[in-house]
Amino acid sequence: QKISFKYLKYTINDVEHPTERRQGKLYKVSPYRLLLNDGNYYLLAFDDWSKEMRTYRIDRMKEVELVNEPREGQEVFAEIDIETYTTRVFSMFGGEKQHVGIRFINPLLDAAIDRFGTGRGVFYRPEGEKHFVVTTEVEISDQFFGWICGFSGKVKITSPDSVVKKFVAHLDKIRKKYESCSEDE
């Protein structure tokens, strides 16, 4: 059956104490599977509002209750290849480790905390009214650069210059692939 809960988010002014998303409005979902990634448990569930599968961090769910309604989304869940899904949602990096500075727009704080956490060696600071910067150690790789690209310009690597240059070279390599448009590549 369905469950309901309040879902928490972080604010740049207090990365240690999350607040309720959507002013405390309840989420109602049909649970399907628990997933484990990087020490965090996630619930894979069919969301009543969006009518699609979503993942929710278990430690960000509060006031979880059973809802006396039958579960929905069986057809959507049946179409999911769990291995492909988890790889896509929880892509791992793998490369040379370096400390980097990454600037995000404020609404992406939860995504940053999901990826980097709030533990030792991870620092968050506001930058102006619309951005914050995360400084942390990252494995520099094509997967990391792809993760950055996935935010469509809402995220920017700011330091060190060597990583910024590697990212620009990565983008140039992709651009050049499309300039030639050869079917052999």
Average pLDDT over residues 70-76: 95
Residue 67 scores a pLDDT above 80: yes
C-alpha distance from residue 127 to each of 12, 56, 103 (Å):
10, 28, 8
Contact 59, 114 (CB under 8 A): no
- In this structure, what token pair is assigned to residue 31? 């649970």
Average pLDDT over residues 76-80: 91
pTM for this one?
0.65
Cα Rg for the chain, rounded, in angstroms?
Answer: 19
Average pLDDT over residues 78-102: 76
Contact 72, 50 (CB under 8 A): no
State the chain's mean pLDDT as an integer: 89
- Using the 8-state DSSP alphabet, how is residue 130 labeled? T
Residue 59 scores a pLDDT above 60: yes
Q: How confident is the model at residue 83 (pLDDT cuts 50, 70, 90)?
A: confident
Helices (H), ranges, the chain: 74-78, 82-89, 109-116, 142-149, 161-180
Q: Mind listing the pLDDT tens digit for each residue in 133-181?
A: 999 988 888 889 999 999 999 999 999 999 999 999 999 999 998 886 6
What is d(CA 151, CA 155) in angstroms, rounded to the nearest whole number? 6
User: Which of 86, 91, 89 is closest to 145 using CA atoms?
Assistant: 91
For helices 161-180 and 142-149, the axis angle rounded to 10 degrees is 80
Position 66, amino acid = L
